[in-house]
Amino acid sequence: MTSIYRRALGADFDRLHPKIQERFGFSSEDGVAAIGRGVMETIWHGPFYILPFLTIGAWRRILFPEHGTNIPFTVENYVYNDTYGRETVAWIRRFETPRPRRFDAYMIYSEQRDQLVDYLGTHQHLAVDIHLSVDARGGLRLLSDNDRIYEGLLGFRLPRFLSGIADVCEWYDDEAQQYRIEVNVSNKWFGPLFGYRGYFQNEWRTVCPHQIPDDVKPRREERRE
């Protein structure tokens, strides 16, 4: 089975650095998980008036209000088929801030939209479209767009002035022999909202579908894309 990232990028996938191809090239048929351990050199947030939104997001493991430097963290990637039969890549990020935080996301390839869709948080209430590209370093760049809220029978697109645009870059540093990541979330009117920058080493763990930890999967899965 082809990974959802290779499928979304097509021929451009081969332009990625070999280490990035490796990290984003596995599927549920490979029986492995990617476990990254490293340090966030900085975690930051915007002005004080956005803190209530970050605090609310933390309830569902979508962003958080803490900030700091040299924060230990892990990123765990598991691939499985969800209850709707969709190949899903789980992104479980853990930050060892004074109050430990977790940021969960679940990516699928949407046949309907012909692109990646990322469901954020424990209940997948927030869905965003993901646009992929390859940068000059052979890194993978992900840009979010078209934020949608799904709650019960309700489903609606967030207006632009309330939407956050996430710009995520992950690349491999050959000199340091480590992966690097930088995330910046911003809003057209309110400016920078949240972000982090750091590095990590990746290891592979053999994981059969029935061995994926229970707390990895969301508490609710959203069918609407």
Residue indicated by tokens 């499985």? 80
Residue 222 in any domain: the answer is no
Residue 224 in any domain: the answer is no
Q: Provide the domain count of the chain.
A: 1
Q: What is the pLDDT of residue 176?
A: 98
Residue 143 in any domain: the answer is yes
Residue 221 in any domain: the answer is no
User: For the segment 40-83, what is each residue's pLDDT rounded down to a tens digit?
Assistant: 999 999 999 999 989 999 999 999 999 999 999 999 999 999 99
Residue 39 in any domain: the answer is yes
Please tell me the distance from the alpha carbon of residue 132 to that of residue 180, in angstroms, as a whole number: 17
Residue 31 in any domain: the answer is yes
**Domain coverage including residue 141:** 4-216
pLDDT band at residue 182 using 50, 70 and 90 as cut-offs: very high
Q: What is the pLDDT of residue 163?
A: 87
Does the pLDDT value for residue 161 go beyond 80? no
The answer to whether 159 and 148 are in contact (CB under 8 A) is no
User: For the segment 120-156, what is each residue's pLDDT rounded down to a tens digit?
Assistant: 999 999 999 999 999 999 999 999 999 999 988 889 9
How much is the pTM? Answer: 0.96
CATH number of the domain within which 179 lies: 2.40.128
At residue 119, the 3 state secondary structure works out as strand
* β-bridge partners, 139: none
Strand ranges, E, within the chain? 32-45, 68-81, 87-95, 101-110, 115-120, 126-134, 140-151, 154-157, 165-173, 178-187, 191-206
Residue 223 in any domain: the answer is no
Closest CA to 51 of 189, 194, 197: 194
* Contact partners, residue 7, CB within 8 Å, separation at least 6: 109
User: For the segment 79-92, what is each residue's pLDDT rounded down to a tens digit?
Assistant: 999 999 999 999 99
Please tell me the distance from the alpha carbon of residue 218 to that of residue 206, in angstroms, as a whole number: 21
